[in-house]
């Protein structure tokens, strides 16, 4: 897996920033990801790791006796060889934290900017 340590460092920082106590050993997480890759015969693709605070009643505060939920999925996806051909991209100011008036999940800005890029016949933002 490419950049595993970088991704895990970012994941750890994110979990700490939002106070999610994830006690799984990250070496065990790597093993789970490798098992998923093997079971799905994944040669090129992506691994998606989703960790939520856990299962509890809907509330803005949380109890310390809940345990984080973990979902790991994978998808077959060709990677881009940037040396083989040119790809078109756009650059845009990061709007994720400037739209708190919109009630949504955090991925909406990503989806909107991706759509904006596609409308301009570009691959990504």
Helices (H), ranges, the chain: 4-17, 26-39, 108-119
Per-residue pLDDT reduced to its tens digit, 9-43 = 999 998 888 878 898 899 999 999 999 999 999 99
Q: What are phi and psi of 58, to 5 degrees?
A: -60, 120
What is the C-alpha separation between 29 and 50, in angstroms, rounded? 12
65 vs 82, more confident: 65
Please determine, for residue 118, whether its predicted confidence score (pLDDT) is greater than 90.
Answer: no
What global pTM score does this model have? Answer: 0.68
Per-residue confidence band for 60, with pLDDT thresholds at 50, 70 and 90:
low
Under DSSP, the state recorded for 62 is -
Name the one residue in this structure whose structure tokens are 């998923």: 36
């Amino acid at each position: 897996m490419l950049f595993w340590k970088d991704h895990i460092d970012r994941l750890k920082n994110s979990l700490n920033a939002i106070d999610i106590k994830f006690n799984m050993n990250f070496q065990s997480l790597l093993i789970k990801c490798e098992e998923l890759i093997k079971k799905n015969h994944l040669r090129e693709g992506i691994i998606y790791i989703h960790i939520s605070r856990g299962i509890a009643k809907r509330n803005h505060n949380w109890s310390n006796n809940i345990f984080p939920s973990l979902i790991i999925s994978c998808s077959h996806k060709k990677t881009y060889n940037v040396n083989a051909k040119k790809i078109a991209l756009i650059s845009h100011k990061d709007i994720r934290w400037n739209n708190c008036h919109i009630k949504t999940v955090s991925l909406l800005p990503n989806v909107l900017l991706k759509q904006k890029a596609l409308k301009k016949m570009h691959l990504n933002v």
